[in-house]
Amino acid sequence: MNSAERQRAPNPGAEVIDFDEILLNACTPELRAELLTEAAMLADAFAPDGRAEQLESIASSLSTGQRDGWMHRARARRLAAALRHLARDKAA
């Protein structure tokens, strides 16, 4: 087995951690509610169909630095986590 195959092989003892949920859960309840509200507004404006793929695309743009100058990196990262949270809800 080469290194690429070892990296893809499932590890039965591995735990999958959702960093977006951890990031949102680390926020105060007020900030979390604000982020989810803002994410829903962005979704309505830029992903009117509400498809999970659209929300993921917006979140990816925010996470990778494609944002306006007014938004700080930390805020953009939290907002991206809120968008991914909405995307998971849509996919479920």
Rounded Cα distance, 20 and 8, in Å: 22
Instruction: Report yes or no: 85 and 60 within 8 Å, Cβ to Cβ.
Output: no
Please give the residue range of the domain that contains residue 27: 17-91
In a domain, 39, yes or no: yes
Quote the number of domains for the chain.
1
Phi, psi angles (nearest 5°) of residue 75: -65, -45
In a domain, 6, yes or no: no
In a domain, 9, yes or no: no
Residue 80's pLDDT is what?
93
pLDDT (tens digit, 9 = 90+) per residue, 13-39?
878 788 999 999 999 999 999 999 999
What would you report as the CA-atom Rg of the chain, rounded to the nearest whole angstrom? 16
Is residue 9 classed as helix, strand or coil in its secondary structure? Answer: coil
Residue 89's pLDDT is what?
85
In a domain, 5, yes or no: no
Residues in the chain with pLDDT < 70?
Answer: 1-10, 65-71
Phi, psi angles (nearest 5°) of residue 38: -65, -40
In a domain, 73, yes or no: yes
